[in-house]
Amino acid sequence: MPRIVKHLGRVNYEPTWRAMQAFTDARNADTPDELWVVEHPPVYTQGLAGKPEHLLHATAIPVVKTDRGGQITYHGPGQLVVYLLVDFKRMGIGVRELVRRIEQAVIDALAELGIHGNGDVDAPGVYVAGAKIASLGLRIKNHAVYHGLSFNVDMDLAPFDSINPCGYANLKVTDLKQLGVELSLAAAADTLLPHLERLLNSTEELT
């Protein structure tokens, strides 16, 4: 079944999250999967198990308590966010395999740009030389997934200093620009999405 890709531009976090919930509640076995490609104004999002102490001090940036897994993270201009509204029962794989494929898509996109990235079995996401460049958080409901991944392209990384990113104290965060690659968000999406599509369509397990 074809997957629909929607480029939504810069949109506020909360209405986008509510739209994902509505889409997931309304979908059925025949609903095509969708990928929503977005950028958000500055916002911290706190996962279901999120501990408030991981916000180190209050800032002017709003905090939204959301329903994905994981702890606190930051979204802002210059970060590519791809939300995956996917019926993973249809794919016939487990959640860990889905996470692994999403991570691998970022790793493959980085490799195309000449950067070596890696995952971490104990801390979902993608890292370059120990610094996090992509975060991942999902919610599963009725065999479908929503939320997705954020990929740091060319952003102000200072807001990460006010949190323990993804619940890890002193975790370094980086972006493509810091690594010497200057890309627009559109170009970054053009690099990442083919890898994501290929891995979501794969019939071979990575793990």
Instruction: Give the tens place of pLDDT for each residue, 179-201.
Output: 999 999 999 999 999 999 999 99
Q: Is 137 assigned to a binding site?
A: yes
CATH 3.30.930.10 fits 4-201, yes or no: yes
146 annotated as ligand-binding: no
Taking only the tens place, the pLDDT of each residue in 95-140 is: 889 999 999 999 999 999 999 999 988 888 999 999 999 999 999 9
* Catalytic residue list: 166
Is 150 marked as binding a ligand? yes
Look at residue 176 and tell me whether its pLDDT is greater than 70.
yes
Give the per-residue pLDDT at 127. 97
Question: What letter represents residue 204's amino acid?
Answer: E
68 annotated binding-site participant: yes
Crossing angle for the helix pair 95-112 and 185-201, to the nearest 10 degrees: 140
Q: In the structure, what pLDDT confidence band is assigned to residue 169 with cuts at 50, 70 and 90? A: confident
Closest to 122 in 3D by CA, of 160, 162, 166, 80 = 166
Whether residue 207 has pLDDT greater than 70: no
**In what helix (H) or strand (E) does residue 198 lie, and over which residues does it extend?**
helix 185-201
